[in-house]
Chains A and B, each alone.
Chain A
């Protein structure tokens, strides 16, 4: 029964498909687990899922995204078994349609980009922090499909320096990019029309957990009266309610694995603080662009509380 290693399955999913996000990988590995373990009773199913989720969450330092996926799956299982009482057919569907979730996740990214397109206007200068698949996809779509002319300012995003990856990709897409050091955000802010960031997770307060530095950008944007938009898929909504920017579940200091970056890049900077994520409260966020539509932080907050506590 315990022959299945959920952690390994999770890492394999992430490795095989660089486009896959952590929550999706978590869901996929849970489905895979169910397919292999084949629980026969409801109780068995629930215990199995819960146990594996715990394993996953405890194995990774930055479990924010991952736990979003796990929580969603758990919630789904519970709801379907409780409300509909047809958990068997549901189970069947789940295990049979493994690839479907990946497909759906991609679709939701597409949908999100669709909602987000009107935000990008001709002649805009957009500040982007770090690398995010959805932000990239949105910008790419605006450039290639809508033919919008805009410039992007990307922060270097130390210590991961994923901003450089973002800049590279955007340049390949033919978008004019300027990379700035993280310290220059305040300097460029008044030239910027809007700020776009991704998110590791959206928490119940309506705030976001994202690559370190997002909080200060949000606060600078607010004081400069610039809109600060978060672009994120709804499966990143996570069951957390941080009270302050450092109130985060990241005891083990390790890299955010989703980046698929060569670890050697950051190896020599080991002396730097390994704090990689921070929490940006909802009051700094103008709106969240999600596959459910454009939402205000207040809306996200209320809805999330409802989802988890109804």
Chain B
């Protein structure tokens, strides 16, 4: 975008303009690749992601750039030192800040504030933004708003795009309520993803709308976290030390707070401008395609962002670097970029893909919608679609990769192997020594790749899982089954995968390899769930975050009252609310109302609500039993008959009923074995009486594999067998009639 007028330019030039780049995403969505390289150095269309962000800053006439690095900070620092941004001809002064202890955006902002670097308004972006917006206009907007509104502290730059737009984050979509006249943001709420098929509603405090005459509630905005902030912003983060996320905490906090009285505006970019953030594999793929298809012109391969790039453009959006060896009969389809030194064999067919440098691609290979990074080797007859192959990986002869497969660095896939959908492969098992919230994983340095070794790691993970929700039986399968005899690689399993299985409990049928937990609704898109952005909402996140806090080999049992854990926010509060209601014998209605309000304010899912309610009720039951006031059965009956109806506002369909059964079973299985069976029986039968659960759903739960895939679960459900039998006969009888 050319600068529109000289006048605007001058405005920028008369002061130093700073930009803060958050190189860490504080997420794990790009695992296992981010265990080796930080996200911002992963190649997007053969150029490290960070380059796009820095290029944007250069176009925006930024004078000073601070890179906040935490995970893999050394790599980023090294990269910047070598790059052209560090030279005398660099358009801005770049400084890397080692913020190793930062665990979230909030931490980084507090760190920033303590360093006292901010001298005026600054631009806050993450190191994975790809955009060609005319930043002058956005800045102009910001300045104008600042002049009219003294409380203005932050301008968000948002892109219009329909809810199902391909670059829209599949992870944290959100709704914005904007004042139509002033573009002031009045309300913000995250909404469930499309895939989750959940309904959500938004309740807006009428007070918010008092002075507003005309407003727009927009669900068509893509938020790529480009914010123009005033120096107040880091201060607010400092004052509110619990703020972590720039939207869910900061934005919501500002909007909800009567005390702060600060305002935030939204700047919505024009139709022919582009802004997106690489935050998941889905957006990675979408943005790669957009770059190839020239949607973010001039950020296209043939603008050769790196000095060493030599791309030239050919009709049909084909980009080729120098010195590519193409066999006579190979076909290069539309929207493809090929790096220098790559050779492609006879009869191979490549389209909608990015091939890195020095790749060896054999004959009759088909590559579609895939991203092959530098130095990968793909042998004859391989079939690859919608996959990502990292540097130095090898796909041997005749292998085929299904959509969603991620092949990690240096992995070798054996000849003729078929890799099932959404498998993520990594060279060595990953040992998690992470602290909360970073992508700071390190690979197991142990070069002994025995299966035992791997099993152990898996089992350790298993113990983590244990404390989350349920046990997934661990089936030991030789890795050879996946990558073949000559292969090198292990299946990487993120915590989320297990969770997702649980999520879709009705189909937790054993997958073909028993070890590959297949994510059924996933395309390449939503293969993992962020820990931060979905913190208050995702059913996954609670356990997810917890598991990350413990080191791998610790099997510390769950503690409910971990106050430091911010992620526990909703769970804790909901738990407290229910507990308080039971303790003080509140009215059922008011307890339900309170719980619902809490859910909405935290943007939590019903799953979370059910979980919290169950926990609270069981906690209460356990406490009562411990005091020996009454028998387990009596206590449970009493509690469930009185408080069971709470579930009526938490359970709406068949799936959710099954989900509730599972939650109950799981939670109860963690209780004292002396009475846990009885309690499950009472819980299920009472809820059946209360019409919370319907008989076919109870039977579905009973028959579902996830209800019996661990010893504990098997144990706890035993007593309920009779009840089920009764249900079944009752059903048959009714059928007979």
For residue B323, CB closer than 8 A to chain A, the reply is yes
**Min CB gap A153→B, angstroms:** 15
For residue A247, CB closer than 8 A to chain B, the reply is no
User: When the two chains form their complex, are residues A147 and B314 in contact, meaning their CB atoms are under 8 A apart?
Assistant: no
Kindly state the separation between the CA atoms of A151 and B326 in the bound complex, as whole angstroms: 13
Chain B residue at minimal CB-CB distance from A174:
B328
**Min CB gap A144→B, angstroms:** 11
Kindly state the separation between the CA atoms of A122 and B324 in the bound complex, as whole angstroms: 11
Kindly state the separation between the CA atoms of A209 and B559 in the bound complex, as whole angstroms: 95
Kindly state the separation between the CA atoms of A176 and B320 in the bound complex, as whole angstroms: 22
Residues of A within 8 A of B593 (CB): none
Chain B residue at minimal CB-CB distance from A148:
B326
Residues of A within 8 A of B314 (CB): 122
Contact with A along B312-338 (1 / 0, CB 8 A): 001000001001111110000000000
Residues of B within 8 A of A151 (CB): 328
**Min CB gap B346→A, angstroms:** 11
For residue A149, CB closer than 8 A to chain B, the reply is yes
User: When the two chains form their complex, are residues A147 and B325 in contact, meaning their CB atoms are under 8 A apart?
Assistant: yes
Chain A residue at minimal CB-CB distance from B325:
A147
Kindly state the separation between the CA atoms of A151 and B329 in the bound complex, as whole angstroms: 11
Residues of B within 8 A of A149 (CB): 326-328
Chain B residue at minimal CB-CB distance from A147:
B325
User: When the two chains form their complex, are residues A147 and B323 in contact, meaning their CB atoms are under 8 A apart?
Assistant: yes
Kindly state the separation between the CA atoms of A151 and B314 in the bound complex, as whole angstroms: 18
Chain A residue at minimal CB-CB distance from B343:
A147
Q: How many A-B residue pairs have CB under 8 A?
A: 12
**Min CB gap B82→A, angstroms:** 30
Residues of A within 8 A of B324 (CB): 147
**Min CB gap B182→A, angstroms:** 54
Residues of B within 8 A of A176 (CB): 328
**Min CB gap B311→A, angstroms:** 14
Interface size class of A (residues with CB under 8 A): under 10
Kindly state the separation between the CA atoms of A151 and B328 in the bound complex, as whole angstroms: 9
User: When the two chains form their complex, are residues A122 and B328 in contact, meaning their CB atoms are under 8 A apart?
Assistant: no
User: When the two chains form their complex, are residues A147 and B328 in contact, meaning their CB atoms are under 8 A apart?
Assistant: no
Contact with A along B636-669 (1 / 0, CB 8 A): 0000000000000000000000000000000000
| Chain A, interface SS category | loop
Contact with A along B286-324 (1 / 0, CB 8 A): 000000000000000000000000000010000010011
Kindly state the separation between the CA atoms of A176 and B328 in the bound complex, as whole angstroms: 8
Residues of B within 8 A of A147 (CB): 323-326
**Min CB gap A237→B, angstroms:** 34
145-159 of chain A: CB within 8 A of chain B: 147, 149, 151
Contact with B along A100-134 (1 / 0, CB 8 A): 00000000000000000000001000000000000
**Min CB gap B351→A, angstroms:** 15
Kindly state the separation between the CA atoms of A147 and B314 in the bound complex, as whole angstroms: 16
Kindly state the separation between the CA atoms of A294 and B327 in the bound complex, as whole angstroms: 30
Contact with A along B684-705 (1 / 0, CB 8 A): 0000000000000000000000
Chain A residue at minimal CB-CB distance from B324:
A147
**Min CB gap B616→A, angstroms:** 68
Kindly state the separation between the CA atoms of A296 and B328 in the bound complex, as whole angstroms: 32
Residues of A within 8 A of B327 (CB): 149
**Min CB gap A139→B, angstroms:** 14
Q: In the complex, which of the residues B320, B326, B327 has the most CB atoms of chain A within 10 Å of its own CB atom?
A: B326
Residues of A within 8 A of B326 (CB): 122, 147, 149
Chain A residue at minimal CB-CB distance from B331:
A123
**Min CB gap B608→A, angstroms:** 56
Chain A residue at minimal CB-CB distance from B314:
A122
Kindly state the separation between the CA atoms of A18 and B326 in the bound complex, as whole angstroms: 33
Kindly state the separation between the CA atoms of A151 and B325 in the bound complex, as whole angstroms: 16
Chain B residue at minimal CB-CB distance from A151:
B328
Residues of A within 8 A of B323 (CB): 147
Kindly state the separation between the CA atoms of A149 and B324 in the bound complex, as whole angstroms: 10
**Min CB gap B611→A, angstroms:** 59
Kindly state the separation between the CA atoms of A178 and B20 in the bound complex, as whole angstroms: 61
Residues of A within 8 A of B325 (CB): 147
Kindly state the separation between the CA atoms of A204 and B323 in the bound complex, as whole angstroms: 40
Kindly state the separation between the CA atoms of A282 and B520 in the bound complex, as whole angstroms: 68
Kindly state the separation between the CA atoms of A88 and B325 in the bound complex, as whole angstroms: 54
139-190 of chain A: CB within 8 A of chain B: 147, 149, 151, 176
Contact with A along B101-144 (1 / 0, CB 8 A): 00000000000000000000000000000000000000000000
**Min CB gap A20→B, angstroms:** 33
Residues of B within 8 A of A122 (CB): 314, 320, 326
Q: In the complex, which of the residues B314, B324, B328 has the most CB atoms of chain A within 10 Å of its own CB atom?
A: B328
**Min CB gap A80→B, angstroms:** 44
**Min CB gap B300→A, angstroms:** 19
593-612 of chain B: CB within 8 A of chain A: none
Kindly state the separation between the CA atoms of A149 and B343 in the bound complex, as whole angstroms: 13
Q: In the complex, which of the residues A147, A151, A176 has the most CB atoms of chain B within 10 Å of its own CB atom?
A: A147
11-52 of chain A: CB within 8 A of chain B: none
**Min CB gap B572→A, angstroms:** 63
Chain A residue at minimal CB-CB distance from B328:
A149
Kindly state the separation between the CA atoms of A197 and B328 in the bound complex, as whole angstroms: 23
Residues of A within 8 A of B320 (CB): 122
Kindly state the separation between the CA atoms of A176 and B327 in the bound complex, as whole angstroms: 11
**Min CB gap A268→B, angstroms:** 37
Kindly state the separation between the CA atoms of A149 and B326 in the bound complex, as whole angstroms: 7
Kindly state the separation between the CA atoms of A147 and B327 in the bound complex, as whole angstroms: 9
**Min CB gap B334→A, angstroms:** 14
**Min CB gap A126→B, angstroms:** 14
Chain A residue at minimal CB-CB distance from B326:
A149
Q: What would be 10 A-B contacts, judged by CB atoms less than 8 Å apart?
A: A122-B314, A122-B326, A147-B323, A147-B324, A147-B325, A147-B326, A149-B326, A149-B327, A149-B328, A176-B328
Given A122-B320, A147-B324, A149-B326, 8 more pairs with CB closer than 8 A = A122-B314, A122-B326, A147-B323, A147-B325, A147-B326, A149-B327, A151-B328, A176-B328
Nearest 3 A/B pairs, CB to CB: A149-B326, A147-B325, A149-B328
